[in-house]
Amino acid sequence: MEFIWKPDLGAEKSKKPSVSTVKFNDGYEARIPNSINPSLRVWNCTFTNNLQTANEIDEFLNKANGTTAFDWIDPQGKKGKFVCREWKMNQIKFGVFQITAVLEEVYE
C-alpha cells in the first residue's frame, strides 16, 4: 500500500530517540539505544482537499486501521514505512475538508 497524498505546507516532523538511561550519584550518566532503530520519524500533517479526495484519504487510513504499514515519501523526500493511528476530518468550508493525521515511522 502506498500513501500518495501530499500534506499541506507546514507539516511538522518530530523525533524522540528511544534510549535507556542510568544515572549515578556523582552526576555520571550512561545511555544506550533501546533498539537498532531508536529514532523514528513522526509527522503531524494536514491535508486540505475537496470532499472526494478527503474521503479517499479517510478511506485509505480506515483500511490501514492503524495496524497496516504503508509506504510514504515524507516532505523531505525520504521514503519509509508508516502507520497512522490517529486522524480527524473537519469541514472547513463548503466543499473543502481538512484531515489532520499523525504518521509514525515503523520498521517491519
pLDDT at res. 96: 98
Kindly report the length of the chain.
108
Element (H, E) at 3: none
Domain ranges for the chain, please list them. Answer: 12-106
> How much is the pLDDT for 15?
83
Instruction: Write a three-state SS string for 17-39.
Output: CCEEEEECCCCCEEEEECCCCCC
Residue 48: predicted pLDDT: 98
Give the rounded distance of the alpha carbon of 71 from its chain centre: 11
Average pLDDT rounded to a whole number, residues 65-89: 97
Is the model's pLDDT at 28 over the cut of 90? Answer: no
- At 62 the three-state DSSP class reads helix
Please list, in sequence order, all residues whose beta carbon lies within 8 angstroms of the beta carbon of residue 92, skipping any fewer than 6 positions away. 48, 98
Summarize the confidence of residues 69-93 as an average pLDDT: 97
Comparing 27-41, 44-58, 67-81, 90-104, the range with the smallest average pLDDT is: 27-41
pLDDT interval class at 26 (50, 70, 90): confident
Residue 25 scores a pLDDT above 70:
yes
Q: For the chain, what is the radius of gyration of the CA atoms?
A: 17
Strands (E), 5-95: 12-15, 19-23, 29-33, 41-50, 70-73, 79-93
Using alpha carbons, list the distances in angstroms from residue 57 to 36, 39, 40: 32, 27, 23
Please tell me the pTM assigned to this model.
0.83
